[in-house]
Amino acid sequence: MPTTITVKGIPEDLYRRLKAAAEANHRSINSEVISRIEQTLKARRVPAGELLQRLRRLHRSFGGKTLKLRQLDEARREGRP
């Protein structure tokens, strides 16, 4: 049996956008919410070859520059107490 949840405190602007999306997709608001939750939580398995291609394109978009481990560590700590 399906489970029911209640979501409180939805900002009006968010509700209006959700309602508009539901109408555009010919769904009820409830069906739109379920569809969006399913899409968000769906496992996205990407084949290793495709992932590698994406990474190579991204690397080329930065002109082939690389970061040093020290730079990565500094970036991770930035903004942390």
Instruction: Supply the pLDDT for residue 8.
Output: 94
Angle 62-66-71 (CA atoms, 0-180°, nearest 5)?
115
Low-confidence stretches of the chain (pLDDT beneath 50): none
| Block residue for tokens 């590698």 | 52
> What's the pTM value of the predicted model, to 2 decimals?
0.53
Single-letter amino acid, residue 18: L
Instruction: Supply the pLDDT for residue 80.
Output: 60
Strands (E), the chain: none
Q: Residue 32: how many CB atoms within 10 A of its CB?
A: 19
Give per-residue pLDDT as tens, 46-63.
899 999 999 899 888 988
Separation CA 32–CA 34 (nearest Å): 5
Instruction: Supply the pLDDT for residue 79.
Output: 66
